[in-house]
A and B are shown apart, each in its own frame.
Chain A
Amino acid sequence: DVKVTQSSRYLVKRTGEKVFLECVQDMDHENMFWYRQDPGLGLRLIYFSYDVKMKEKGDIPEGYSVSREKKERFSLILESASTNQTSMYLCASRPQGYTEAFFGQGTRLTVV
């Protein structure tokens, strides 16, 4: 069975903290993605990676960075969390080609 696992289901952090969201996939997929989802805005792409150590900005990268040191793991980093980063964060992975993306269960992050 396909599995994309995000490290936390719920997270509460303080403004200014450095926050790490971890995502692991066990399908040997080349491509991994981080999205955030807010009411009325759908899913918006933050960053993606198509290979180890390769990363590209998505539509809303400001305030975020990512790390992909191993193929199976893709980390999203909030360098200095702010309240406007309170959101649902979804990780996804996808093999090469025209096939579906598999999503993790999501991390609901609240920044107070």
Chain B
Amino acid sequence: QKEVEQNSGPLSVPEGAIASLNCTYSDRGSQSFFWYRQYSGKSPELIMFIYSNGDKEDGRFTAQLNKASQYVSLLIRDSQPSDSATYLCAVSSGSARQLTFGSGTQLTVLP
């Protein structure tokens, strides 16, 4: 069984701080790694994906991948109250590149 583990939280940070979200995965054959954001009652929406070791930056978001350690993280700089949501880590593998999700980390950004 492929597993994706996240700290369930909840995680609270003050506005303007850096939020750090972590994820580990068990399947070494995993090919791509995704971070989704899900607001309460809504569908997940993609924030970023990464498939090479190292960092990938997009605006206030930075994804980090370390395949040797089977570890993915998401940093949110200058956190805003609108960033308050559940963040889902997902890992792609298999014939249809199906996504396996972690259970999510609930983030609250305090004004």
Binding site for B on A (CB under 8 A): 30-31, 33, 35, 40-45, 48-50, 56, 58-59, 90, 92, 94, 96-101, 103-106
Contacts and interface: CB of A to CB of B under 8 A. Distances in A.
A48 B49 contact: no
Interface size class of B (residues with CB under 8 A): 20 to 34
Nearest to A32: B96
A48 B101 contact: no
B98 A33 contact: yes
A14 B73 CA distance: 42
B75 to A, nearest CB: 20
Interface in B73-111: 88, 90, 92, 95-104
- Among A30, A43, A48, the one with the most B-chain Cβ atoms within 10 Å of its Cβ is A43
Contacts of A31: 96-98
A33 B51 contact: no
Nearest to B8: A40
Contacts of A43: 44, 88, 90, 99, 101
A98 B49 contact: yes
Contacts, number: 64
B46 A45 contact: no
A59 B97 contact: no
A105 B88 contact: no
A63 to B, nearest CB: 18
A50 B92 contact: no
B53 to A, nearest CB: 15
A68 to B, nearest CB: 12
B31 interface: yes
B32 interface: yes
A42 B96 contact: no
Contacts of B100: 45, 59
A76 B82 CA distance: 34
Given A43-B44, A103-B43, A103-B44, A98 B99 contact: no
Interface string B26-56: 0000011010000000111110010100000
Given A40-B103, A98-B51, A48 B98 contact: yes
